[in-house]
Structure 1
Amino acid sequence: MESIIEFKDVSKEFEGNVVLKDLNFSVKKGEIFVLVGPSGSGKTTSLKMINGLIEPTDGNLYFKEKRIKDYNIQKLRWQIGYVLQQIALFPTMSVKENIEVIPDMLGWKKDRRNERVDELLQEVDMDPELFRDRMPSELSGGQQQRIGIVRALAAEPDIILMDEPFSALDPISRASLQDLVIKLHQKLGNTIIFVTHNMKEAMKIGSRIAVMHEGKLIQCDTPEEIRKNPANQFVEEFFDETTDEVYTQTLDVLYNGGFYQEATQKERTLPILALETSMSEIFDLLAEKDAFYIKEHEKIIGVVNRSDVFRFLSQEG
């Protein structure tokens, strides 16, 4: 598979401080490539070099085998979508206007822009009739980030850069948007470069993962290989330590804490989970379902919905 991005001996210094040191890796066309590491490891600096927001002190970056510094930087950025942690929708523009910003700048005709907006809203399960004319303030945080994602996709860019896009969201919204990124990638085949400090998130969505520490690349491989054969003690410990504490808990913390409803009569078909089910699995489930039954010794003892989980998370925070 051909490379679309390549870092060759890239280093970066800020005021004498070395932020990146001899970075060498390539991103293959059509993969989800994840940069993961603790704060200060150089992830975001590396990402911002790809669209020319930061220039290397030494070495070169290549986009489609041409040095990034040899491109017209504005035209290059039109080929690159960007999704930030700070959702950054334009507050005075409607959902539709936010999505079509770059297509409009590129001179797309109105009919083509309208068609693209509706197509993308449908892809992220937001009814165009209901959402295209809404303002960002009328959307939840998760809905705003969905618009941020489709805005980055709107002009059919070669690459999507995603800088910790879900870290400010609750675990249920985060799991839902992780699933959305995977679904869109499988359908559209975009190249995605994704930055996160959470190894669990990296392992879930990444085709390959680059583990960074103190400006250096420690290991670059598939999730399976990193799980089985961490390159050193740092990678092994980082894998263990970056799982949020709430993810390690089980369903019994909801039940014992009273974060559930009495199960009176089965009025609908819902999943049934044992008390030993991990919170990680619950967040993934609630990204698709709005509730589930709890069972103990094969007997249904309660029902948990999203609002129960949000109450629990609020108490944890």
Structure 2
Amino acid sequence: MESIIEFKDVSKEFEGNVVLKDLNLSVKKGEIFVLVGPSGSGKTTSLKMINGLIEPTDGNLYFKEKRIKDYNIQKLRWQIGYVLQQIALFPTMSVKENIEVIPDMLGWNKNQRKKRVDELLKEVDMDPEQFRDRMPSELSGGQQQRIGIIRALASEPDIVLMDEPFSALDPISRASLQDLVLKLHQKLGNTIIFVTHNMKEALKIGSRIAVMHEGKLIQCDTPEEIQKHPANQFVEEFFDETTDEVYTQTLEALYNGGFYQNAESADSKLVSLTIDTSLSDVFELLTKQEAFTIERTGKVVGKIDRSDVFSYLSQEG
């Protein structure tokens, strides 16, 4: 598979501080390539070099085998989508206007833009008639981030850069948007470069993962290989430590804390989970349905829906 991005001996210094040292890696066309590591590891600096927001001190980056510094930077950025942690929708523009910003700049006609907006809204399960003319302030955080994702995809860019896009969201919204990224990638086949500090997220969505630490690339491989054969103790410990503490808890924590509804209110058609089910599995289930029942020793003892989980997470936070 051909490479679309290459880093060759790339280093970066800020005021004498080395933040990136001799980085060599290539991103293959059509993959989800994840840069993962703790704060200060150099992953966001690496990402921002791809669209020219940061220039290397030494070495070169290549996009389609041409040095990035040799491109017209504005035209290059039109070929690259960008999704940030801060949901940077334009507050005075409607959902439709936000999505069609780059297609408009590229000269797409009105009908082309409307068609693209509507098909992308449908892809993220947001009815165009209902959401097209809404303002960002009328959307939830998860809905705003969905718009941020499809805005980055609207002009059919070669690459989409995602800089910790879900880290500020609750676990249910995060899991739902991870699934969305995987779905859109499978359908559209574009190249995604995704930055996260969470190894669990990296393992879920990455085709390949580059683990970074103190400005250096420690290991670059598939999720399976990194899990089976971590390159060193740092990679092994980082994998263990970055699992969110809330994911290690079970439904018993919600039940004992009173974050559930009486069994009498439970619909017999609901999926039933045992009380020792991990919250990680609960979050995944709640991306697909609204509620479920809890079982203890084969007996239904209560019902939990999304609002109960949100209340629990608010208390935990």
TM-score range normalised by the length of the shorter chain = over 0.9
- Name the CA distance, whole Å, in 1 between partners of 2:263 and 2:117: 42
Structure 1 residue 87 and structure 2 residue 113: aligned? no
C-alpha distance after superposition, 1:239-289 (max 9, x if no partner) = 000111001111110111111111226546222111111111111111111
Equivalent residue for 2:306?
306
Structure 1 residue 146 and structure 2 residue 156: aligned? no
Equivalent residue for 1:51?
51
- Name the CA distance, whole Å, in 2 between partners of 1:177 and 1:265: 30
Amino acid at match of 1:228: K
Amino acid at match of 1:197: H
Name whichever of 30-39 and 278-287 sits farther off. 278-287
Equivalent residue for 1:2?
2
- Name the CA distance, whole Å, in 1 between partners of 2:230 and 2:266: 47
- Name the CA distance, whole Å, in 1 between partners of 2:251 and 2:182: 26
Structure 1 residue 212 and structure 2 residue 177: aligned? no
- Name the CA distance, whole Å, in 2 between partners of 1:90 and 1:210: 32
Equivalent residue for 1:98?
98
Equivalent residue for 1:181?
181
- Name the CA distance, whole Å, in 1 between partners of 2:216 and 2:131: 43
C-alpha distance after superposition, 1:30-84 (max 9, x if no partner) = 0000000000000100000000000000000000011000111000000000000
Amino acid at match of 1:23: L
- Name the CA distance, whole Å, in 1 between partners of 2:237 and 2:175: 23
Equivalent residue for 2:236?
236
2:264 is paired with a residue whose SS is coil
Q: Which runs of 4+ in 1 moved over 3 A?
A: 265-268
- Name the CA distance, whole Å, in 1 between partners of 2:250 and 2:74: 49
Equivalent residue for 1:72?
72
- Name the CA distance, whole Å, in 2 between partners of 1:265 and 1:98: 42
Counterparts in 2 of 1:1-317, with a 5 A limit? Answer: 1-264=1-264, 267=267, 269-317=269-317
The share of aligned pairs that are identical, in percent, is 85
Name whichever of 152-161 and 297-306 sits farther off. 297-306
- Name the CA distance, whole Å, in 2 between partners of 1:219 and 1:253: 36
Residues 266 and 293 in structure 2, CA contact (< 8 A), matched pair in contact too: no
Amino acid at match of 1:238: F
- Name the CA distance, whole Å, in 1 between partners of 2:130 and 2:139: 11
Amino acid at match of 1:76: L
2:210 is paired with a residue whose SS is strand
1:192 is paired with a residue whose SS is strand
Structure 1 residues not aligned, in runs of 5+? none
- Name the CA distance, whole Å, in 1 between partners of 2:260 and 2:212: 41
| TM-score using structure 2 length | 0.99
C-alpha distance after superposition, 1:140-170 (max 9, x if no partner) = 0000000000000000000000000000111
1:231 is paired with a residue whose SS is coil
- Name the CA distance, whole Å, in 2 between partners of 1:76 and 1:270: 50
1:264 is paired with a residue whose SS is helix
Alignment length (residue pairs): 317
Amino acid at match of 2:158: D
Structure 2 residues not aligned, in runs of 5+? none
- Name the CA distance, whole Å, in 2 between partners of 1:79 and 1:173: 28
| TM-score using structure 1 length | 0.99
Computed over aligned residues only, the root mean square deviation of the Cα atoms, in angstroms, reads 0.8
- Name the CA distance, whole Å, in 1 between partners of 2:159 and 2:188: 11
- Name the CA distance, whole Å, in 2 between partners of 1:2 and 1:260: 51
